[in-house]
Amino acid sequence: MTELTPKERVMRVFRKEPVDTMPFFSGYGMVVMPAIAKLGYRFSKVHTDANMMVQAAIESSRMFGFDSVVVPFDMTCESQALGNEISLYEDSEDILYPTIPDKVWKGLDEVEIPDNILELGRMPLILDAIKLAKKEAPEYAIGAWQLGPFTMAGQLLELGIMLKGVFKQKELVEAALDKISDMIIKIGQAQQAAGADFITLREMGTGTDLISPKTWKTMIMPRVKRILAAWKSPKVLHICGATDMIVEMMNECGADALSVDIKNTLVESRKKIGDDALLFGNFDVFALPCKEETTVEEAVEGIKVNIDGGVDAIWPGCDLWPDIKEENMRAIVKTAREYGRKPSPAVGRLS
């Protein structure tokens, strides 16, 4: 059987062309502590240095057999570029992602996106990181991502403002979402121009455990469609939380593949969207590779359940938690390779 490179495997799946085995990759953070430790880096430093960011992502993939290299790792880049200070926890030895302790915008009417957003904060650094990853790791599929407009709004304003505004200030919410959508389009296009092989729209905070299907259809779906229409393929739509009731609408938004979280029922989703659509998901990013009590055998079984659920790629339900158990992670990838040699619903196998 022909053995493909990681990039070939991923890009062929996006084209629904036969592959040697199921890819194991992600459209968001897959950086792990064993790789960071091997490089002699501190976790807090990899978010603010393009070379460290890229080397940490590449080493993570090389150590454990991932098929993609994805940057950045944290969700505060755009918020920082728009004037919010971030906490990097540079004095801590713990795994602490950057956070936004206080947000400049206090109301929906304050949302305003500057024309030079790509020049602000760490935005140039992220684009440089994509270019560098493309150069340093040509054998890998280079991924980039953007938060969806509602989720991004939660990084720019307090999420409570958005959730209350859906019912009490609908016009202001929609105006803010339109401005944020324009920004997401612009940044995503810049990421693709920098060399990203695929891009993921992460409208994470819009699962039906937070937003009703009706609100999703009227408020979220039109903007998701507009963003995806403005980006080149391949492009993935990801939503965290419960998506069983909206997966058919997700499939109408123009993405090349859908990514779902652990609260999603894979078998049900596959029935709803049919065998021709690409479905990625959705292993538990803490329970299988990280949780102390999880045995290698349990991790292996979890991935088999994933594959049997009808996915076309093993893909985490959210950002991979960096503090993995190495033996579990290696077993997970090995299982994806071996158990994933059978065809998936939308993608055949090379003979």
Q: Any idea what the CATH number is for the domain that residue 283 is in?
A: 3.20.20.210
Is 330 domain-assigned?
yes
Residue 25: in which H helix or E strand, if any? none
Work out how many domains the chain is built from and give that number.
Answer: 1
Strand, helix or coil for residue 89 = coil
Is 348 domain-assigned?
no
pLDDT tens-digit series, residues 171-210: 999 999 999 999 999 999 999 999 999 999 999 989 999 8
Q: What is the pTM of this model?
A: 0.96
Is 123 domain-assigned?
yes
Is 349 domain-assigned?
no
pLDDT tens-digit series, residues 328-337: 999 999 999 9
DSSP-derived letter for residue 117 is: G
SS (H, E, C) 207-264: CCCCCCHHHHHHHHHHHHHHHHHHCCCCEEEEECCCCCCCHHHHCCCCCCEEEECCCC
Q: Hunting for tokens 């070939």 — which residue is that?
A: 8
Confidence of residue 1 (pLDDT cuts 50, 70, 90): low
Is 344 domain-assigned?
no
Is 350 domain-assigned?
no
Domain around 53? 6-339
Is 22 domain-assigned?
yes
Is 351 domain-assigned?
no
pLDDT tens-digit series, residues 133-170: 999 999 999 999 999 999 999 899 987 888 788 888 88
pLDDT number for residue 164: 84
